Amino acid sequence: MLDDATARGVFERELEAVRIRYGFVVAGYVLMPEHVHLLAGEPSRSSLSIALQVLKQQTSRKLKQRGEVRFWQRRYYDFNVWSEEKRVEKLRYMHRNGSRHDPTYSSAPYSAPFAALRTV
């Protein structure tokens, strides 16, 4: 799925295009071979569910292999973050989750090929 540099690059370009189009802040994200963690603010245009639907559609069109029924799960799992304490907690969780999946992952951003905590 997102296990090579080309696929990760497609996802990152589409995330940035959707972020600009819908006007939301990305606090951080972690890309792993089989899933993504994304901490984002509410879009100024439309809803988060629409923005994520577009992100999933755009990346799926570019990355789905022939014969695959679907690239992404049908839905996404959200959690509302209402405080700075929770924001930090979720960013730390994302970071730890990435390091658990990739032994080469370190605390420095961009350090591992598919578990990089990135801020936009």
Residue of 55 and 119 predicted with greater confidence: 55
| Sequence-ordered list of residues with C-beta below 8 angstroms from that of 70, at least 6 positions apart, any chain | 60, 64
* pLDDT confidence bin for 101, thresholds 50/70/90: low
Q: What pLDDT, on the 0 to 100 scale, is given for residue 98?
A: 67
- Angle made by CA atoms 66, 70, 37, in degrees to the nearest 5: 120
Which residue ranges make up each domain of the chain? 5-101
pLDDT digit string (tens) for 53-92? 999 999 988 988 777 777 887 777 888 898 989 988 988 8
Q: What pLDDT, on the 0 to 100 scale, is given for residue 54?
A: 94
* pLDDT confidence bin for 109, thresholds 50/70/90: very low
CB atoms within 10 A of CB 114: 21
Residue of 35 and 11 predicted with greater confidence: 11
State the average pLDDT for the chain: 79
Q: What's the whole-model pTM score? A: 0.77
Per CATH, the architecture of 5-101 is what?
2-Layer Sandwich (3.30)
Which residues lie across from 118 on neighbouring strands?
29
- Let me know: does 15 contact 119? Beta carbons within 8 Å: no
